[in-house]
Amino acid sequence: MAEAHLVREARGIGPEAFEAFLGTREEPEWLRQARQEAWQILRETPKPGPDDEAWRRTDIRALSIEDLVTVMVGDGVTPPEEMRQIVERQDDLAGGLLLFDGQPALRWVDERLERRGLIFTDLLTAVREHQDQVAPYLDQVVRPGDGFFAAMNAAFWRNGIFLYVPRDLEIPLPLRAVIGLQGAPTDFSRILIVVEPGAQVTFIDERLADDAMGAAFHNGIVEIHLKENARLTYIALQNWGRYMWNFTHERASVDRDSTLDWVVVGMGAGVTKTFLEVDLVGRGATAYMSGVFFFDGQQHADYDTEQDHIAPHTKSDLLYKVALKDRARSVWQGMIRAHPGAQKTDAYQANRNLILSPHARADSIPGLEIMANDLRCTHGATVGQINEEELFYLMSRGLSRAVATRLIVEGFFAPVLDRIPVPDIRRQVDAIIHRKLGVPSEEEF
Amino acid sequence: MEDALIIRDLHVRVEGKPVLRGVDLTVRKGEIHAMMGPNGSGKTTLAYVLMGHPAYSVDQGEVLWKGQNILELPPDERAHLGLFLAFQYPVAVPGVTVANFLRAALNERRKRLNPEDKGIPIPEFRKLLREKLALLGLEDSFAARYVNDGFSGGEKKRLEILQMAVLQPEMAILDETDSGLDIDGVRTVAEGINRIFNPNMGILLITHYQRILNYIKPHFVHVMYNGRVVASGGPELALELEEKGYEWLREQFAEQPTS
């Protein structure tokens, strides 16, 4: 048992580190092989720099890959009560899961659903106990070749979350997970979601760390397989501490007549670069991508989105709203791609930015790539400041400038927040917004 | 003179151009004053300046209310002193519901009066709001809509009066509250104003047309032209204007050409 308390460390992504890493794993051969292949790709992929188109606006030269802790074994520490509370057994959830400093720290699932085949567990347990449901899907939607950080995660991921909803099972209440960090300097986790035909589920994932944690590093992958006639509502809250590096590759494959409702909330981290993509691979597939982002201080966040219409008669609708304060900076780069044969594509993308201080800056770069001829693709991007007439109107009713600003910011986000079907999350997001604005929260009306 | 809004020799410039050129006016509580005049005479500027719009710079004069010159105060502090402006062109605030907006406004006021105040209890607020909605013939669902977002002209004007009903100001400036309304709309809005008006409140009703004065009986009528109040009288003055139009003002009060 003494071994369990051992913390072995290795840094970087070189052969010795990778060898040491594999030495800490007891995993089936197929997974070992997948890691080997990913690591080979990683070796051949240079760290992105300012010359790479996708990385032109996000400078990561200060990030030293050699110094990243890639190998870490330990039994962790007790997670803080606040993290436990979010996912503890409660009436309005169907299941909860906490990964803390890379270790599964809490898990429960409604037994009736579990008996009907629902799997909601940490990824290592899933590899051990549900290999047939994991192996065919891992590394299939986000591939190691998708980029430097995708390859790094595929080689070095330590644990993650696995959600599997069997055919025709409708989960009435949300499942909720927290990936929390406190002592681990790095996190290589991934989320794998498989929704079988006819199934329906709502999944909420929160990535959580305190500002006090200081510098840390997250490299995550999210893979979503949504099969025919299925429905997934996925709400992702990024609440990392403000000194973290945050890199993710996230992609959903949406099959025939399925609907993905994907809400991303970004409030934390120091430097973020995220790729969020949907592949509409089956006729009648629909994807809604909504985003609420509020950054302040020196936060920098760069979101790269892709709406890939591969099958005909597919629909996508993206609305990302960003508010920026102080010296915060955001980048949104969006691409709608209608592949050859994707007739009757109906695609929309909009990015709205609200700048709350003269030193904040937003770059908004929409894009279309059309290889079919019978479709409808539209986009809109705006960058604006608080309207003085609106402020005057609100202040004339006795609202201070601060409260008037709070109302305008809330109103700005409302159309997206209204898409979040869980009131609890809505309140939580409102509270973060108020904190960033420096005004107290009020009860909901 | 605690009970009067006193405007003295008010000179205001907009983008460097003089718009008000020495306005004098006193409105007491319990009085309704109608301010009439052709377009461009400075009526809306007067309304904005009284409420503290940041785009207007005052060159000269003072506005006294509750014993102080309010021209230095930001708009929210003027509101807390009981001033209210019903806008000619109410501003849309997308994403903010009428109910949330009004509750925030009420709570701000309570907090200024008592920093310990925890805000109006929600059941009490709902009751108040329903009562005021009914007063103006509005459905409850009106409160769930976003402030002025996609409102018709009539709905916007009714929301202004709803806000006045909830906030219960002591001095209300109503800027062209009748403009853009059909005759039924004018009647509904006017009835609302009459129900809200009380002896502890003064109203400065700015209007281009006489027709709203068929429903709201002013105690005094003033005529503004070219940045000054050029005539004042009783309700009969409004009828006279209706008859003669505004042309005669041009002949009588036009700027003397300077050589």
Q: Is residue A5 part of a domain?
A: no
Q: Could you read off the pLDDT of B83-113 as tens digits, one per residue?
A: 999 999 999 999 999 999 999 999 999 998 8
Domain count, chain A: 1
Mutation pick from A389, A390, A395 vs chain B, by most beta carbons of B within 10 Å, is A395
Instruction: Provide mean pLDDT across the span A337-364.
Output: 96
Q: Could you read off the pLDDT of B186-205 as tens digits, one per residue?
A: 999 999 999 999 999 999 99
User: Is A396 in contact with B93 (Cβ distance < 8 A)?
Assistant: no
**A257 pLDDT higher than 60:** yes
What pLDDT does residue A2 have?
A: 33
**A343 pLDDT higher than 80:** yes
What pLDDT does residue A6 have?
A: 42
For the record, the structure tokens of A409 come out as: 């910011």
What pLDDT does residue A206 have?
A: 96
* Average per-residue pLDDT for chain A: 94
Q: Is residue A259 part of a domain?
A: yes
**B59 pLDDT higher than 50:** yes
Q: Is residue A205 part of a domain?
A: yes
Q: Which stretches of chain B sit within 8 Å of chain A by CB?
A: 51-55, 74-76, 78-80, 84-85, 87, 90-97, 99-101, 103-105, 107-109, 112, 119, 122, 125, 146, 163, 167
Q: Is residue A357 part of a domain?
A: yes
Q: Could you read off the pLDDT of A14-44 as tens digits, one per residue?
A: 999 999 999 999 999 999 999 999 999 999 9
Q: Give the gap in angstroms from C-alpha B48 to the nearest C-alpha of chain A.
A: 10
Instruction: Provide mean pLDDT across the span A226-230.
Output: 98
Q: Give the gap in angstroms from C-alpha B169 to the nearest C-alpha of chain A.
A: 10
What pLDDT does residue B248 have?
A: 79
**B234 pLDDT higher than 90:** yes
Q: Is residue A86 part of a domain?
A: yes
Complex ipTM: 0.95
What pLDDT does residue A440 have?
A: 64
**A339 pLDDT higher than 90:** yes
What pLDDT does residue A7 have?
A: 61
**B69 pLDDT higher than 90:** yes
**A11 pLDDT higher than 80:** yes
Q: Could you read off the pLDDT of B246-259 as tens digits, one per residue?
A: 877 777 776 654 43
What pLDDT does residue B211 have?
A: 87
Helices B153-167/B183-196 angle, 10° precision = 0
Q: Is residue A178 part of a domain?
A: yes
**pLDDT band, residue B33 (cuts 50/70/90):** very high
Q: Give the gap in angstroms from C-alpha B106 to the nearest C-alpha of chain A.
A: 8
Residue A373 structural domain? 80-444
**A443 pLDDT higher than 60:** no
Mutation pick from B91, B126, B161 vs chain A, by most beta carbons of A within 10 Å, is B91
Give percent above pLDDT 90 in chain B.
Answer: 76
Mutation pick from A290, A387, A397 vs chain B, by most beta carbons of B within 10 Å, is A397
Q: Which residues of B touch A393 (CB under 8 A)?
A: 87, 90-91, 93
**pLDDT band, residue B209 (cuts 50/70/90):** confident
Helix/strand/coil for B52: coil
Q: Could you read off the pLDDT of A262-303 as tens digits, one per residue?
A: 999 999 999 999 999 999 999 999 999 999 999 999 999 999
What pLDDT does residue A14 have?
A: 96
**B221 pLDDT higher than 90:** yes
Q: Is residue A54 part of a domain?
A: no
Q: Is residue A268 part of a domain?
A: yes
What pLDDT does residue A5 have?
A: 41
**A3 pLDDT higher than 90:** no
Taking CA atoms, what residue in A is nearest to B143? A445
What pLDDT does residue B1 have?
A: 56
Q: Could you read off the pLDDT of A299-308 as tens digits, one per residue?
A: 999 999 999 9
Q: Which residues of B touch A401 (CB under 8 A)?
A: 74, 76
Minimum mean pLDDT range among A310-314, A441-445, B214-218: A441-445
Instruction: Provide mean pLDDT across the span A345-363.
Output: 96
User: Is B80 in contact with A398 (Cβ distance < 8 A)?
Assistant: yes
User: Is B95 in contact with A392 (Cβ distance < 8 A)?
Assistant: no
Q: Which stretches of chain A sit within 8 Å of chain B by CB?
A: 387-390, 392-401, 403-404, 407-408, 410-415, 442-443, 445
**pLDDT band, residue A76 (cuts 50/70/90):** low
User: Is A398 in contact with B90 (Cβ distance < 8 A)?
Assistant: no
Instruction: Provide mean pLDDT across the span B163-183.
Output: 94
